[in-house]
A and B are shown apart, each in its own frame.
Chain A
Amino acid sequence: MTTEDNSTNTNTNNNKTLKKLLLVVLAMFGFGFALVPLYDVFCDITGLNGKTNTSAAIYDANGVDKSRTVRVQFITRNAQGVPWKFEPIVNEVDVHPGEMQFVSFYAKNNGTHDIVGQAVPSVSPGQAANYFHKIECFCFTHQPLGAGMDVEMSLQFYVDLELPADIKTLTLSYTLYDITEKSS
C-alpha cells in the first residue's frame, strides 16, 4: 500500500537528516577544541591578550628614535602558594623606541623545597604586546631554584619604532607559577 511506502520513505529521510545533524554535532564539538589554537593565532595577530613573544627575538630596529620616550614599568606577582620572593630590581625605565635595554629581576626561594618556577609575561595595554620585543628573557626557560637559594635573572628588550604614538607607558607584568610537578 502507498501508506507503507510513505512511511518507509519518511524513515529513510529521517535517518538521512539524523546522520547529517549528528555530523554537525561532531563538527561543533571539534570546533570547540579548534577555538583553542584559533584563539592563540588570533591573539598573536592582534595582541589581544597582551601575550609577548615566547622565544628570543632578533634585534633589527632601524636606529633609535631619540625624539620619543616610552616609560616601561615592571610588576611581578606570585601565583597562589609560590613561596618565592620575586621582584624587579628597578621598577621602571625610560627608553627610546629602538633602544636596547637590560634589566634584572631578583628571585629567592623562601620555601623548604626545591621549586621549578615559570614566569609568564603579559603586556598592558594589550595592543603594545606586538611592539615589545624580548631578545633575552628568563621567561623563555624554566627557573629551578633550590630551597633558600636566590638568583638574579636578566631581561633584554627593545621597544619597536612602530609603537603607536598614543602609547606612552607600557607595563610588563610577570606572574610566577610553580611548575615543579609538570616539569618532573
Chain B
Amino acid sequence: MSTNVIDQTSHEEHQAEHSSDDHHEHKMTGIKRWLYTTNHKDIGTLYLWFSFIMLLTGGALAMVIRAELFQPGLQIVEPDFFNQLTTVHGLIMVFGAIMPAFTGFANWMLPMMVGAPDMALPRMNNWSFWILPFAFGILLSSFFMESGAPNFGWTFYAPLSTTYSNGSTAFFVFAVHIMGISSIMGAINIVVTIMNMRAPGMTYMKMPLFVWTFFITAYLLIAVMPVLAGVVTMVLTDTYFGTSFFNAAGGGDPVMFQHIFWFFGHPEVYIMILPAFGIVSTIIPAFSRKKLFGYSSMVYATSSIALLSFIVWAHHMFTTGMPLFGELFFMYCTMLIAVPTGVKVFNWVATMWRGSLSFETPMLFSIAFVILFTIGGFSGLMLAMTPVDFQYHDTYFVVAHFHYVLVTGSLFSLYAGAYYWLPKWTGNMYNDALSKWHFWCSLISVNLLFFPMHFLGLAGMPRRIPDYALQFADFNKWVSIGGFAFGLSQLIFLAVVIKCIRGGEKAPAKPWDGAIGLEWTVASPAPYHTFSTPPPQSDIDNADQHSH
C-alpha cells in the first residue's frame, strides 16, 4: 500500500514541476498565505477553524442562557438581553457554525473525492470565506451598541424586527446579506466543481454519496438564499424607508413575512442536514467493512427530501389561522418526508447489519448520529401533526426537536467527519483516548441537556422566556447542568485537534482499512496540490460506493 502512495506522490510532484501556472513550491508564508490563498485545502482549513470559533462563541451565549434558566426568577440577565442572547445564539449556530463547517468539509474533500486539482473558482472561493468574518463582526458588534443586539429571534418575525425593533435591524440585515452572499458563492463553487471538474470516468452515479449530498445541498442554497436576501431587504425597507410589505396599516401583511421566511427556512434546515447524511454514509460503510447499502436509493432519497422541502414551509405556521385544507396539505407533505428519511436510516442500519464493525471515534459519533437524529426525526413527526402542534407550538418541545437534529444530528456528523479525516488533514493520528472522552462526555451531557426539554415542552414551558413557573425548576436545573457539561466537553475536542496538528502517531495514506474513496489514494497529510493529473480509472472504480 505504501509504495503505491509514494508512487502517486512522486508522480504528482513530477507533474507540478512541469506545470507552468502552478506555484507548488512557492506558497506564501505567514498571514499572507491565509489572506491570499486560493488553495482549496487552505480555505477548507479556514472555514473549519472559523466555524469552530463560532461554535464556541454561540456556545458561550448558550451558557449564559442556561445559567439564567438554572433556577426560576431573574438572576443574571435582563429579559431584553436574554432575547438578544437567544437571537444571536441561533444566528451564530446556524449561519456561523454549522453551515461554514460543512462548506469547510466541501472545500477540503470535494476536489479530492472527484479527482480534481482544486475547486473550480478558486478566487471566488477566497472571497466567499473572507467576507464571513466581517458578517459576524457586524452581528457581534451590535452587542456593544447602544441599541443592543438583535432581540427578535433568529426568525426575525415582522413586526418584531420592523415596528418594534430595538434599532439593531440594520446591523442584522447587512450581516445576513453578507452571510448569504458568502453561502451563495460557496454553493456556486461546489456546483461548478462537481459538474465540470470530475475526473474523466467518474460519472454522476459513481460519485461518492458525500459528493451527491453536497451537490444537492448547493442547489438548495442557490435556490433559497436569494429569497432570504429578499426578505431581509423587505424588513430593512419596512423599518427604515417607509415601505409596508409587512405593515397592515399600509396594506401589507405580517403573516406574509412568515410565508416568505419559511419558504427559505424549511429548505435551510435540509441544507444543514443533507451534508451530514453524506458524511455518515461515508463513515458507516468504512467501519462496517461493507459497501453502503442502497447507494442509488440514497441518491434518490436525498433528492426527494430536497424537492419536498419546498412544499412544506407552512408547517411552521399552523397556529397562524390557515384554512383546514392548507393545514392538511402541509401536514401530509411534511409526513411524506419521513419516507425518504426512513429509507436513509434503514440503509445505514442495513449497512451495519452483519458487517464486521469496529468502534473508532468516527464510527461512535456516526452511530450516535443515526440513533439521536432519528429521535429528532420522530419529535419532528409529532410536531407535523396539526392538532397536536397547537399544543407543542413555541414550547421547549420544539427546542428539544431542533437541537436533536442540529446538535446530535449535524454537529455529531461534523465531529464524526473531523475525526475520520483528521489523519488526512494533519498527517497524524488523533489521540484515541482523548477522542473517546470527547465522545462519551458529549453523548451523556447532550442527552441530559436536550432530552428533558421534551417533557418541559409537553408540560407547557414556553421557549424564549427568561423565567418559568416553579414546577419546571428541577428539570431546568438538570438541563443546565447538561448544558455546562456539554459546553466543556467541546474543549476536549479543541485539545484533540491541537495535539493532532502538533504531532502524534504518523498516519498512513489510508488509516482506516475499510475506507474507500480517492482521498485515501494520496499521502497523509494530503499534499498541497493533489490530482494535478486525474486519477486512473482503476482508482475511480475502487472508490465506487455501489454494493454490487
Contacts and interface: CB of A to CB of B under 8 A. Distances in A.
Given A49-B255, A120-B249, A24 B323 contact: no
Contacts of A13: 195-196
Interface in A59-107: 79-80
Interface residues on A, range: 35 or more
Interface residues of B, number: 36
Interface stretch (B166-174, B256-264, B485-493): B256-264
Given A32-B229, A32-B231, A14 B249 contact: no
A13 B225 CA distance: 24
Residue with the greatest number of chain B CB neighbours at <10 A, chosen from A29, A39, A175: A29
A10 to B, nearest CB: 6
A79 B252 CA distance: 14
B121 interface: yes
Interface in B218-272: 222-231, 234, 242, 245, 248-250, 253, 255-256, 259-260, 263
A14 B260 contact: no
Residue with the greatest number of chain A CB neighbours at <10 A, chosen from B196, B255, B323: B196
Contacts of B195: 13, 17
A107 B286 CA distance: 74
The A interface, classified by DSSP as helix, strand, loop or mixed, is: helix
A90 B307 CA distance: 51
Interface stretch (B70-78, B105-113, B184-192): B184-192
Nearest to B255: A49
A17 B192 CA distance: 6
A39 B259 contact: yes
Given A39-B256, A120-B248, A182-B250, A18 B188 contact: yes
A22 B260 CA distance: 21
Interface in B380-437: none
B120 to A, nearest CB: 5
A80 B184 CA distance: 39
B227 A32 contact: yes
B321 interface: yes
Given A46-B323, A126-B321, A29 B253 contact: no
Interface string B286-328: 0000000000000000000000000000000000011100100
B222 A48 contact: no
B226 A32 contact: yes
B152 to A, nearest CB: 15
Given A17-B191, A18-B120, A32-B231, 14 more contacts: A14-B196, A18-B192, A22-B188, A24-B222, A25-B226, A28-B223, A31-B230, A32-B226, A32-B260, A39-B256, A50-B321, A79-B249, A127-B323, A177-B248
Q: Which 9 A-B pairs have the closest CB atoms?
A: A32-B230, A177-B249, A29-B226, A28-B226, A32-B227, A13-B196, A17-B192, A14-B120, A21-B188
Interface of A: 10, 13-14, 17-18, 21-22, 24-29, 31-33, 35-36, 39, 43, 46-51, 79-80, 118, 120, 124, 126-127, 175, 177-179, 182
Interface of B: 120-121, 163, 184, 188, 191-192, 195-197, 222-231, 234, 242, 245, 248-250, 253, 255-256, 259-260, 263, 321-323, 326
